């Protein structure tokens, strides 16, 4: 992939439409580390909601050459202020919460970001909460997607700058991959694919396909991967939906 | 993906065969942060070659709950000592070097690790150099793969703990994916695919899918194209056949 870097002229537009928002960060070192993590992965838009002890020499030291990202960071009083002009708000969460929010892992989230940023030219924000407790439910109420990062189910305690690093890396990889995938806008978008997968899942439940030897989450993931690899066109998804409708009409 | 975590019993064996080696680390905080990054992604084997100012309260503070990884870290005098028992040595490098080493990006490297660890049960080490200058050429001489992390071509200055975080995340994702991928990647052959398409056609006839607006020959051709593009594995074809069997048992 590194070789790809040199051969591709990135249109930086897709990276500068992805805003990182840090809410109530208490350790300024984490803000500096976040700026460094971002710049390494071509992100530049950093918003800080009521940071503690900031600006700070510690933040600048940890930024280590990403001072430009740090010095252009916007300090805001409220999360609402940091989200002005944003079309899609994503909240980062270490744990799954209740079903109120649409939950996607970081890879799926980056797919969603690609379709929002590249196809629609809109701005997205990924919001990271305070170090000790993450985002409050009130802050999550402003988000339409809750992004989780996979990992050790027994110990999930990513440092906030590390979480931003993982997201920024995955966003970079997903952006580069989607640049190669540019088959001309005929391909199904995220919503269409997701709705197809939901319909598929409902239909497989309807025919009692899943059982203990065929666990739903595993099988659905394999089917998503199989179909995902072929990067289906809109019309192909419509054909598949037509088949599913014969088995089981979709109930959203 | 996070949901999957809870439902899957990881065999930890593949994670504890991946050793992280930090060479001449000067900032003990980075060692603590590395331990935390590792534990979040199920890695436990940390080797430290001649670390400066270690053990250190700063390292313990940054480890934040990953004290077990930190306290079981092996301190070695030389890189050779840290590589005892290792079959595949991978050196992390911010930049591409000359052609002497086989260079893979982090995703490709994790694929290589999977085949070494899972199929052969061997131990791999991923070696990270000192903060300011990375691995020396002499240290790289002990490595058979040079791993690069993709990113900003104009500024590539990943903190060593951040690089370990990115690697550990990608290794986690690749391990989880390969667990589901357990078919050894063997793709279905022509007869298997053809038999699947025949079964699919019979099933679609069975549910009265085809009609004058959905002509059989056209639709079957499109479906063959869609599935053909994803180059299905044997096991994936078996999954699809299992679904079809629930709709309509195959009559050859």
On whether any CB of chain A is under 8 Å from the CB of B150, the answer is yes
What's the average model confidence in pLDDT over A40-63? 96
| H helix or E strand, kind and range, residue A180 | helix A160-180
User: Residue B12 gets which letter from DSSP?
Assistant: G
Q: Which residues of chain A does B197 touch, with a Cβ-Cβ cutoff of 8 Å?
A: none
Percent of chain A with pLDDT over 70: 88
Architecture of domain A190-247: Orthogonal Bundle (1.10)
In chain B, % of residues over pLDDT 90: 61
Q: What is the pLDDT of residue B185?
A: 63
The CATH number of the structural domain formed by B2-180 is 3.40.1280.10
Report d(CA A241, CA A249) in Å as an integer: 9
In this structure, the strands spanning B102-105 and B124-128 are unpaired
Contact A93, A134 (CB under 8 A): yes
Q: Answer yes or no: is pLDDT of B237 > 90.
A: yes
Residue A118 confidence (pLDDT) above 90: no
Would you state the pLDDT for residue A4?
A: 38
Given this model, what pLDDT does residue A97 score? 61
- Per residue in B106-123, pLDDT (tens digit) is 998 998 898 888 767 789
Q: Does pLDDT of B179 surpass 70?
A: no
Q: How confident is the model at residue A11 (pLDDT cuts 50, 70, 90)?
A: low
**H-helix segments, A181-233:** 190-206, 216-229
A176 touches chain B (CB under 8 A): yes
Do the Cβ atoms of A150 and B2 come within 8 Å?
yes
B133-146: per-residue pLDDT in tens?
899 988 988 999 99
What pLDDT score was predicted for residue A99? Answer: 59
C-alpha separations of A179 from A8, A9, A100, A107, A194 in Å:
9, 10, 33, 16, 21
Question: What's the confidence (pLDDT) of residue B11?
Answer: 52
Q: Which of A40-54, A68-82, A116-130, B58-72 has the lowest mean pLDDT?
A: A116-130
Residue with tokens 């499109």: B222
CA-wise closest residue to A23 among A49, A44, A3: A49
ipTM, 2 dp: 0.70
Domain boundaries, chain A: 2-180, 190-247
Whether B151 sits inside 8 A of A172 (CB atoms) is yes
- The stretch B191-208 carries a mean pLDDT of 93
CA dist B70 and A235 (Å) reads 53
Our CA-based measurement puts residue B105 at a distance from the nearest CA of chain A, in whole angstroms, of 6
pTM of this prediction exceeds 0.80: no
């Amino acid at each position: 992939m590194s070789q790809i870097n040199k051969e591709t002229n990135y249109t930086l537009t897709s990276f500068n439409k992805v805003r990182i928002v840090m809410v109530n960060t208490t350790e300024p070192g984490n803000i500096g580390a976040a700026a460094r993590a971002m710049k390494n992965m071509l992100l530049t838009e950093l918003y800080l909601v009521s940071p503690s002890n900031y600006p700070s020499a510690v933040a600048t030291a940890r930024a280590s050459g990403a001072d430009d990202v740090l010095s252009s960071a916007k300090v805001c009083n409220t999360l609402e202020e940091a989200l002005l002009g944003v079309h899609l708000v994503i909240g980062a969460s270490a744990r799954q919460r209740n079903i109120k929010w649409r939950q996607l892992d970081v890879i799926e989230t980056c797919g969603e970001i690609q379709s929002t940023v590249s196809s629609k030219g809109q701005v997205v924000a990924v919001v990271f909460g305070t170090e000790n407790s993450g985002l409050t439910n009130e802050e999550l109420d402003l988000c339409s997607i809750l992004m989780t990062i996979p990992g050790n189910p027994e110990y999930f305690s990513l440092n906030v700058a590390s979480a931003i690093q993982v997201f920024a890396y995955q966003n970079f990889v997903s952006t580069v991959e989607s640049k190669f995938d540019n088959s001309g806008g005929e391909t199904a978008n995220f919503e269409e694919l997701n709705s197809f997968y939901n319909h598929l899942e409902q239909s497989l439940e309807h025919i009692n396909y899943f059982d203990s030897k065929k666990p739903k989450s595993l099988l659905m993931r394999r089917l998503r991967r199989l179909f995902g690899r072929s990067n289906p066109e809109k019309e192909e998804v419509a054909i598949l939906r037509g088949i599913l409708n014969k088995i089981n009409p979709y109930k959203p």
